[in-house]
Structure 1
């Protein structure tokens, strides 16, 4: 297996981000300020020697990835690839709901009123389990279901990566924070959400994964 880097970028701000709604597998377009920060991220990353580019299959991630690749010095050598494994967490019944209201409902039985309080007390994985329990249809992903999916994405990256590669991956806020939490090598604060179009870097060495940069502002 190879030693390589993954440049993980959160998509630009969308309309659901603007209105603070739960946006997992549901999708809304990039808002005007989301397009702006995606362009700024593209400018910041234009000279990075990317060997490949991936995004989740959500339009907000696909569009952000295209903006970044189109400005990159290797744009004529890279064709972005969609990887559904790196979708956002699926929120089931709560898709499109107010984020604050949803996490109050989910957290209240566990003495937590906000998402930050919930993950501080119990961690990211437990928040997924609690969300599935609170979902009246139980369609939301729990931690086991979520990581089974995301790990398939990591396996795909391992298959294509060569030593020294830098790979672009455009994904989502909770997914990036979950990856940081699991592979945190920098003592990053779990309660801090990655900003839209921010950069998180994962170092991979023979299957060993470490997040060494988190939520670096590119705009």
Structure 2
């Protein structure tokens, strides 16, 4: 079994300003730095075989904080980048809602029907993300622990893929991956399973809980 520790990057300036942040970038704010450092301490005893991160600056910054100087190979994987929002990038959500009301409604409430005029659609992101995830696990063998650092929509799309569920209620469904959260998955005999999703209570978790092998 290969265990995957999937982390969403820490909170950024644009996260705090409610701006769309896909392929463009802003740095982590103090809260984002603190949570990444805290999670890094909780994962410090895990022997990671390798690390894979989106090449975005905010994920690279989060990765550096998580590792805290540990000598582990870090691989930039473009397939793990966030959804491209095209002309929406850097704009506040309220501004987009006013200027692109129909598309905005589809984006948040009917993601399976959303068609981007610029940028990517949800299914496009899901397909490339799953391709990247499968490529990663094919490079590893039973017993390996792999750290993956990525983004909200990308991680959620991977969760839906692993759960073999549709994305009709992508944002309003039962899965949440807040900034700095930890999701743990396993790959065994060609199948993915999830131990837990979007956890931010890792300050209360000991090593045995973080390393647990429990499907739910």
TM-score, normalised to structure 1, is 0.79
RMSD: 2.7
Q: Does structure 2 conserve the Cα–Cα contact (< 8 Å) formed by 1:198 and 1:216?
A: yes
CA contact (8 A) 2:106 2:114 kept: no
Runs of 4+ in 1 over 6 A off after TM superposition: none
Structure 1 position 111, deviation (Å): 10
Match among 67, 70, 83 for residue 69 of structure 1: 67
Deviation at 1:101, TM superposition (A): 4.3
What residue in structure 2 maps to residue 80 of structure 1? 74
Q: Which residue pairs with 1:135 in the alignment?
A: none
Distance 1:110 1:58, change over 3 A: closer
Number of residue pairs the alignment of both structures matches: 197
- CA–CA distance in structure 2, aligned partners of residues 105 and 113 of structure 1: 14
Equivalent in the alignment of 2:156? 177
- Find the residue that maps to 1:183 and give its secondary structure: helix
Q: Indicate the residue corresponding to 1:96 in structure 2.
A: 90
Q: Report the equivalent of 1:146.
A: 125
Assess, with a 3 A threshold, how the Cα gap between structure 1 residues 28 and 183 changes in structure 2: closer, same or farther.
Answer: same
Unaligned runs of 5+ in 2: 165-169, 204-216
Q: CA-to-partner distance for each residue in 1:134-191, whole Å, 9 max, x for gaps?
A: xxxx222123432332133113212221101110001011111222223238xx9736
SS at match of 2:68: helix
**Alignment partners' CA distance in 2, 1:177 and 1:51:** 24
Query: TM-score scaled by structure 2?
Result: 0.80
Could you say which residue in structure 2 is the equivalent of 1:130? 114
Contact map agreement 1:201 1:214 (CA 8 A) in 2: yes
SS of alignment partner, residue 210 of structure 1: strand
Instruction: Give yes or no for contact 2:51–2:147 (8 Å, CA) kept in 1.
Output: yes
Q: Is the 8 A contact 2:125 2:157 kept in 1?
A: no
**Cα distance in 1, alignment partners of residues 115 and 96 from structure 2:** 9
Task: Kindly state the Cα deviation for residue 47 of structure 1 after the two structures are TM-superposed.
Answer: 1.2
